[in-house]
Amino acid sequence: MTIARGGRLPNGLDAAMERLNTSVDVDGELWREDIRGSIAHARGLARAGIITDAEAEAIVGGLGRVAGEIERGELRFRRDREDVHMNVEARLVELIGAVGGKLHTGRSRNDQVATDLRLYCRRLGEETLASMERLAGVLLARAEVEIDTLMPAYTHLQRAQPSRLSHHLMAWQELVWRDHARLTDGLDRANECPLGSGAVAGSGFPLDRAGVARELGFASPTRNSIDATGSRDFLIEIASALALAAVHLSRIGEELVLWSTSEFGFVVLSDGFSTSSSMMPQKKNPDVAELVRGRAARAMGTLTSLLALEKSLAFGYGRDLQEDKRPMLDAFDCVLPCLDALAGALATCHFDAGRMRQALERGHLCATDLADFLALKGVPFREAHHVVGALVREAEAQGIELSALPQATFAAAHPALATDERRAALDVALAVERRTVLGGPAKSTVLAAIADARARWLAVSAARG
């Protein structure tokens, strides 16, 4: 079977080529952006005197009707029309007649799709930024509520030092803060309008590029027609920000998986964000966190696809770039649901403060504090480290905690440990409160960090409008 065509290639497209050539199954997702860009282009043509105001009005009205048909599910895209652009234009001509054919004056599908992609990234990017802000809000709210919940801090997944849950939640929040900034930066660099760049060398018509850019909400038109139609680094940058965000969400998900095990028992996820086993009736699985981990792999793949796609492309549009849409759409589809699901899971979960406090009782977590105590007494830290390390080894041999060693053992290890003054160094709650340094887990420090973060998030949210 062949697909009939006209113009330069009248003999039809082979069916195998048609399957390869058609992109509407993917780029159909861009129909809102395509119609929005076409409306701005039609108005720009009228301002430039290229079409009449009446013709522009007819085109804009027709495009509104096309949008309504798509929104209501009345218009089904035809694969023989290749892509979303040709489907929209063909339906426009069906509705308003030959004047619809004037819409493509001074425009190529090359600058059209580049504009659609930037508009799409901006729309989905704004949704993603808003979801990041919601997740951050949940983390800040939980950090405030759990301010008195103590827990171990870990290195190498081993209990390391006493800390507090709020401090840990604020560490997650800092990741989200940087992800928000990276995505914002990428969207800022994508905020230029390619319309008017034509296929590669601009247009011979006196197009109102600046006016079209303003109408579409872009900061400015693109500066170079070759770059505007043939470069997709803005997609790569946004996909990179999304992939890194997905990795960060995966790290949070991993900790929720660990913390929800019987071995940790630090958190219980609500039923709304858990699943059961089809075989084992006792199971309550942290699937929300596991699915978030899995989506990160897909998000990383989208970035790799876009990087490989643009590698070795000569300047000027190449049809290879038809493959830029699926990974970009998938990148947003990976990250947006994860942000919203994690926000919901963290807002509704139960943190077991008692179990976290119990975890502080094993692992000699105040060993560093005891070494610091000796350092404050004038003992060189390396010597203090050696002394306390030997005491830990002795406690391990006896099967007890460092704090439970006899008075005589401490006195024999170093004269500075002979008095009861050392006991304060081995108190986990006091150990946390001693860490008032900026970035530390003391209650006052964490409360200040929460207030600072809340102010920062309010500022960026207000800046976005």
Active site residues: 156, 277
- Best CA proximity match to 297, nearest among 309, 285, 305, 286: 305
Per the DSSP assignment, residues forming a β-bridge with 153 are: 161
- 57 φ/ψ angles, rounded to the nearest 5 degrees: -65, -40
307-312 contacts, C-beta under 8 A, 24 or more apart: 307/236, 309/232, 310/231, 310/232, 310/233, 310/236
* Burial status of residue 11 (CB atoms within 10 A of its CB: 0-12, 13-18, 19 or more): exposed
Q: Hey, what are 115's tokens?
A: 């504009």
What distance in Å separates the CA atoms of residue 438 and residue 456, rounded to the nearest whole number? 17
Task: Give the CA distances from residue 144 to residues 251, 444, 454, in Å, rounded to whole numbers and listed in that order.
Answer: 22, 12, 11
Question: SS3 letters for 375-432?
Answer: HHCCCCHHHHHHHHHHHHHHHHHHCCCHHHCCHHHHHHHCHHHCCHHHHHHHCHHHHH
Residue type, 148: D
CA-to-CA dists, residue 372 to 265, 383, 390, angstroms:
31, 11, 15
CA dihedral 88, 93, 96, 100 (to 10 degrees): 90
Residue 409 near residue 391, CB atoms below 8 Å: yes
Burial of 8 (0-12, 13-18, 19+ CB in 10 A): exposed
Identify the residue whose tokens are 């929460």. 450
Q: Where are the alpha helices (H) located in 311-377, listed in sequence order?
A: 325-348, 353-359, 367-376
Distance in angstroms (rounded) separating the CA atoms of residues 260 and 356 = 12
In sequence order, what are the residues at sequence separation of 6 or more whose Cβ sits closer than 8 angstroms to the Cβ of residue 161?
Answer: 152, 153, 365, 366, 368, 369, 431
